[in-house]
Structure 1
Amino acid sequence: MMAGRTFGFKLAASFGLTLALTLLMTATSVLALRYVMTTKDDVIKSATTSLVGAEELSRTMERRIGGYRAFLLNKQTEWLNATNADRALFLTQVNNLRSSLADDPTALKLLEAVSTDEATHNTVVSDLITKRQNMAVLNIDLLNDPRAKPARDALLAAIDALISRVHATVDKATTESNDRATAAIIFIIGLGLVLIVGSAAVAWRLSRDLRREVGAAVGHIQSSSAQLEAAAAQQANGGRDQASAMSEITTTISELLITSRQIADSAQRVSKVAEDTADAARTGDATIDQTRASITAIRTQVDQIVQHMLALGEKSQQIGGVVDLVSELAEQTNILAINATIEASGAGEWGRRFAVVAEEIRKLADRTAGSAKEIRTMIEDVRGAVNTTVMATEIGAKAVDAGSRQFDDATNSFRRIAQLVATTSDATREIELSTKQQTTAVEQVNAAASDTARASRETEASAVQTRQTAAHLGTLSGDLLDLVGSGRH
């Protein structure tokens, strides 16, 4: 077993470290080269702008001097235009140099001296040009004016001093750039040496760890191979015993498989009977539901009869009130008829006719009172019949309710029977399913036992092979120790 981190991890870490150092060197080299290139570009730019610009001043001024002297000689306008154009170009170049020499105060002072000397020289040249324009024939003294040469020499000297200063600045920048390039090269070489030393140290450390860890691993392998050889011998003996035991187990499982199949067939028949019983219970439940619906309809009709009989009783009471009113009217009419007869008797001849009418009214009132008494008697009979009918109907309704409750009890019993039958059917199905699963499991166990017996025989053969392999592994571990240079343990 390896101590600490795995060798693969150490190898990956070492490769990562070497790769990081290589990338660091590459990045540093690129940065150093870019720095050197930038410095060189600055020097080239300075030489292109400052030095070339200063030398252009000298050439432009020489062209102007030649131009105005040619005008003094031949008084041609083209030379005057040329010298004026050269002065304008000179002034433009001076302005451009001010921006490129902004970082060099000494060069700027020299440039200002050039500007001052040019202005002095231009004053002398302009005076000479004016005089020549007013002369028809050249006067040789004009060419030899004592002011022209000192002004020209002073201007050219100032330009030469500026050029010398720019040359010195460019040379200094070139030297500094070369020094930076040399330092960058030395730095890259030093970094490369550090990378080489680091890579060598990593390789030495990996080699040392490899020898140590492989040696330890080989020692474990040799020890394990000896143990493996002994275990293989025991395994071979155990494999033979296991094969014999598995043969006996296979015989027992075959008998269990036959029994499981018989139980499955019996459970299937019980499940069929339970399903038939459940169908019959469901049919009886439907019949009881229809009977309950009929009893409910009868109970509803009985309730309606009771309501109608009660309504008939109320109507008979109302008729009795009307009969009482009629009886009272008949009595009052009878009294009035008697009073009218008495009054008619006292009226003499004139009251006879009225007495006859009053008598007829009294007789009519008597018949009305008698009819009212008969109606009252009939109403009483009707009330008695209504009460009797209501009581009989209530008794019938109670009997219907009792029958309904008995049907409910019977329905609940049927439903419990149906539930029990359904439970029995489900349990039978579960038994059937479990038996089938058990049969399948037994078949699988039988197959597994056969496989195990075969595997036991194969294990016995492989144990012998493992013993031989363990012996060969010990030989290979010794060769591996010789390969890594650790010597044999």
Structure 2
Amino acid sequence: MKTNWTIPQQIVASLFFPLVVLILLGVVSVHKTASLLEISQELKQTYRVLTELDELHAHFLDAETGQRGFIITGDDAFLEPYEIALHSIDADYEELRRLTEGNLGAQERLDRLRPLMREKLEEMRLSVEQRRREGAEAAAATVASGRGRRAMDDIRAVAGELRAEEMRALAAREQEAAASEQRLLVTLTAGSALTVLVVAAVGFLIIRGINRRIHSATRRIESSATELQAAATQQAQGSKEQATTSTEVSATMRELLSTSHQIAESTQRVTQIAADTAAAARAGDETVKRAREGIDGVQRQVEQIVLHMLDFGKKSQEIGGILQIINELAEQTNILAINATIEAAGAGDAGRRFGVVADEIRKLADRVGGSTKEIRALIEEIRAAANTTVIATESGSKAVDASARQFGEVATSFRQISELVSSTAEASREIELSTKQQATAVEQVNAALLDVARTARETEASSSVTLKTSSELATLSKDLVRLIQRPAGA
């Protein structure tokens, strides 16, 4: 089966072969059943011919019994079965001609039987009339002449030939019916076995192909989750370093504020304090630059995390689409199995084995549907975790942007401090004013650094959440891989 086909195309192509086998099996079964029914009708007709021959013979015996009883006793009560038999004999003869209408040999024997019947009936009629007119001796003489006995013997001979021919036909048809039943049984058994094998092979190929596709997708998800976990770990480490740097800068700024107060209290030490302040400002500027570079690195990592999470979301949606197709195929297979079970039940004993196969197919479809629901639940959990990670990462990105802006303000303040310190060194008369400006600027910087420290702690917390989410995502991906591998291993 081509691997570049879609799953619905594979299903349609795979079901074509079992469908062809079932159609051929149905055509052959219908043909065999029709032949068997035809043979059964012929057997039924043969049995009716034999029954009519027995009835014809019985009616002749009834007529003879009534005739002889009347001749011996002269009692009209013996003529009642005689009269009834006379009316039934003609009806039996006509029924025999109708039943053997397509049998030339039987029709020829019935043509020979007709004058013999008339001769026998005429002999019985004459003997009865003689008994009434001339008495018992005349009638007995007619019976003793042997005319009626010879006619009856001929009737028995012709009827025997007809019976023998029908018995031979009956034996041949029974043998043909037995052979037809055997052929039908062999055809149904072989067809059912072939259908089972074809359906089992098709089911195995379909399930193996689907498992391969899902397994490949889950491997890609697991790889993305691992990359996300690594990025989250790097983000957490960067956040910790940022928090440490912010603490150091805050301590430096507190020292700078203390220095500013000392400048205000002692103008004699203005030059030395200004020099110290300039050095501290340069160190602070370098620290701010390093912190800004760290924030830029964190921002790039956050952008990579967002891209990975968006790609992960798309892959999760693709898996969801595949699972939806699998679920629809399982439901259609279940419906086909139910219809096959109904058809097998309607076929009686001949379809019992096919019904068992249909029931097994329905159970397999139910198990596939159950596994699909479990996989869909895991995918939904993975998707929810991914959404949470994206939201947390976007919040971290915003916090990083705010930190970058605040560090820009800090850098600007440090440049202002440096300018103020230079001005203080050049003009001591501006010491007091510059000292006030420096104190104000230091206070602003300190407040900004407090905000930076708080932002760094929040970034660290967001990084921890991102790391935890990525770990959960990796665990869910491994669970999904194990869930896909379990049926393949079984």
Q: TM-score, normalised by structure 2?
A: 0.48
Higher radius of gyration, 1 or 2: 1
Bigger RCO (CA 8 Å, 6+ sep): 1
Q: TM-score, normalised by structure 1?
A: 0.48
